[in-house]
């Protein structure tokens, strides 16, 4: 903004919040799991504050303002496709897509049906199946079949609406992992890690009238484009490359959960 230029009323201003750390990604247990799933060093969470009342119907303006903000540009992390190093946005964003991601689930009982439908045994072991392939993912158990194979018999135990829920998206991303993912034989590590990240990123409050816990975050899956094409979360599209913006309208914070598919840190 040039000196003397009037401030655009209703435009958002952002600030980076480096002091807001996300324990969910840094505990020893999570770190070793992310390493096993080939996601370590390729997943990040960051927090930013903003100064105006958030209005969900103006989400596109909000996200565009975010990418153009001088406090965001040098701080928003993404992985370079060429070097594999963490970089910041190097080009001007011309267009964004922000897709609403519903977030209504307050309990991990959402996943109980995996036991009820014989995807997972009572002792937590994921039931194996004949090997097949759903590009680029190998399928050797019933869990990945339910996640990926639309014409499999148990696919509909999660409805289309269930599959759009942020809790489901997060769980699926962790189950599918990175390029050299070593899959779990039991369900628990996936559920535990999903719960930790979900609780750390999603904002809730107790409704003063009903005393019930309610989710206050608005969530968007975000893609940005510069003059050459897609530039964020990556220049290459992949089901496991994503950026979710979780907006807390009460605290005026936005949490960014980012992952770029590839080979994670090994050692």
Question: What pTM value is reported for the model?
Answer: 0.94
Characterize the bridge pairing of strands 229-232 and 242-248.
Answer: unpaired
Token pair for 204: 């809730």
Q: What is the mean pLDDT of each run of 10 residues along the chain (267 residues)?
A: 48 95 94 97 97 93 96 96 91 96 96 96 95 90 96 94 98 97 96 97 93 95 97 96 97 98 90
Tell me which residue of 209, 233, 235, 230 sits closest to 221, measured CA to CA. 233
Query: 49 near 14, Cβ under 8 Å?
Result: yes
Beta strands in the chain (DSSP E): 14-16, 43-50, 78-79, 86-87, 95-101, 128-134, 137-141, 204-206, 213-215, 218-226, 229-232, 242-248, 253-259
Tell me which residue of 56, 49, 45 sits closest to 12, measured CA to CA. 49
Characterize the bridge pairing of strands 137-141 and 242-248.
Answer: unpaired
**pLDDT score recorded for residue 225:** 97
């Amino acid at each position: 903004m040039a000196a003397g230029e009037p401030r655009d009323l209703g435009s958002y201003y952002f600030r980076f919040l480096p002091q807001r750390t996300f324990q969910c990604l840094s505990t020893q247990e999570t770190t070793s799991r992310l390493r096993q799933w080939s996601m370590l060093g390729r997943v990040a969470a960051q927090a930013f504050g903003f100064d105006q009342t958030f209005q969900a119907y103006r989400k596109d303006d909000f996200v565009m303002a975010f990418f153009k903000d001088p406090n965001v540009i040098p701080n928003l992390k993404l992985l370079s496709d060429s070097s594999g190093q963490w970089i910041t946005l190097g080009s001007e964003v011309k267009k964004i897509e922000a897709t609403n991601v519903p977030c209504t689930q307050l309990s991990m009982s959402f996943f109980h049906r995996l036991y009820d439908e014989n995807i997972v045994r009572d002792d937590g072991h994921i039931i194996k199946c004949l090997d097949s392939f759903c590009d680029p993912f190998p399928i050797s158990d019933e869990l990945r079949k339910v996640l990926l194979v639309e014409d499999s018999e148990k696919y509909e135990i999660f409805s289309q609406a269930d599959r759009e829920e942020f809790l489901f998206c997060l769980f699926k991303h962790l189950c599918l992992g990175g390029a050299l993912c070593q899959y779990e034989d039991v369900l628990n590590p996936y559920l535990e890690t999903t719960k930790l990240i979900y609780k750390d990123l999603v904002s809730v409050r107790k409704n003063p009238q009903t005393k019930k816990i309610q989710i206050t975050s608005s969530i968007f899956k975000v893609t940005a484009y510069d003059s050459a094409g897609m530039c964020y979360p990556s220049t290459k599209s992949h089901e496991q490359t994503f950026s979710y913006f979780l907006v807390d309208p009460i605290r005026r914070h936005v949490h960014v959960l980012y992952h770029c598919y590839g080979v994670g840190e090994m050692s």
